[in-house]
Amino acid sequence: MSTSGLTPRQARRLRVAAASVLLVAMAAVLVIRLASRTSVLVVGVYGLAMILCGVVIELSRNGRTRLGTWLLVGGLGAALAFDWLILP
């Protein structure tokens, strides 16, 4: 049992659900950003963030929940940083 009181199966399901919700959110942000300004960088940054969410879902389904959590936090943090710093 993990320190948060969740069973491994519950932790996997929670991370899959979180990554799925973030995948949908990244798709919505991509559509909004493309409506305001069409750019290959926008598609690249948010496309990679969506791919990362899919990778995290697969990692969580295969039991690699801690690695998936770190990738999700780090990758989405980097995507938001790129959006704020680099994208026009």
Report d(CA 7, CA 82) in Å as an integer.
Answer: 35
- Counting as low any pLDDT under 70, the low residues of the chain are 1-4, 87-88
pTM for the full predicted model: 0.73
| Chain center to CA of 58 | 12
Per DSSP, the three-state class of 60 is: helix
pLDDT of residue 88: 64
- For 72, the token pair is 């999700």
Amino acid residing at 80: L
Contact (CB, 8 A) for 7 and 1: yes
Amino acid residing at 5: G
